[in-house]
Amino acid sequence: MFYKFKIILWYLLRPLFWEHSLELLKRKYIYIKKDESKQGLDWAKKNSNSLLNGFKKIGINCNQDILKLDINKELIDNGDKLIKSSLINIDPSVDSQKLAGKAYIKLLYILTLITDTKFVIETGVGYGWSSLAILLALSKKNQAKGLVSIDMPYPSSKSIGYVGKVIPDYLKQKWTLISLPDKPGIRVSIKKNLEKFDLAHYDSDKSIRGKEYGYELLWKGLRKGGILISDDIEDNLSFCRFIKKKEAKFTVIKKDKKYIGLVIKK
């Protein structure tokens, strides 16, 4: 009971989070919950490709030599050490193992590096592995504008220092962190930047509703020819419905037991 009171108070004290708290209440008491996990997994499996074939399917030039590109192992090892040595005390409801996950950072690194990507937006940061991959690739480019990351703090969390923990200081010069939920965070990012984004990476709210409005908002901020990437598309059919609605060129890439969707804006 005390824990719930802390959560309610946390939201009440933050007006910028009221819209999100209302959304959560609607999901709990109004909207019918759907379980599309089986259908989502079946669809992702059916459409999955290797990294090389996936890139080729959507018109990105790639070969075996390009696939050898990777993030410096020293950076990865240093990030792991920072996490282990940190006194991070996050809300008990949070899966710390999931928070520390590296997603498919090699994909993000290569894609940012070999395409005409200079301005990126992402949702979901956690310890910052995806941010590190993107920022590292951008650091190797001339006139790169940078990365805008949106990450909502965990309610009642006792730690505020874990977000982006693995990102080295020298890469943070072109990094902007917006500590808001997806809806207001993406809106603020688009409003602040007149320039359209080249790449959008979605790795936050895994629910059907979260993905539905998240994809649409990110799509609005993408330039023509820009790429939207979504992690964990196997959780439901949100990505499937989105690419059919947009009638856009897409691919699905498998990484271990996870599936990543890529779609290009026409």
What is the predicted pLDDT for the residue at 97?
54
Taking the model in full, what pTM does it have? 0.92
Least confident of 131-140, 146-155, 254-263: 146-155
Average pLDDT over residues 191-209: 93
Question: Across the chain, what does the average pLDDT equal?
Answer: 90
Domain 36-264 in CATH 3.40.50.150? The answer is: yes
> Does the pLDDT at position 158 exceed 70?
no
Q: Determine the Cα–Cα distance for residues 218 and 143; give it in Å rounded to an integer.
A: 23
Listed by start position, the domains of the chain span 36-264
Average pLDDT over residues 68-73: 93
Average pLDDT over residues 183-200: 93
Question: 90 with 96: CB under 8 angstroms?
Answer: yes
Least confident of 7-16, 234-243, 253-262: 7-16
Q: Which residues contact 95 (CB under 8 A, 6 or more apart)?
A: none
Residue-wise pLDDT for 11-40, tens only, equals: 888 888 888 988 888 888 888 778 999 999
> Does the pLDDT at position 95 exceed 60?
no
Highest mean pLDDT among 24-28, 92-96, 102-106, 226-230: 226-230
Least confident of 31-35, 236-240, 257-261: 31-35
What is the predicted pLDDT for the residue at 87?
56
Least confident of 54-58, 77-81, 92-96, 98-102: 92-96
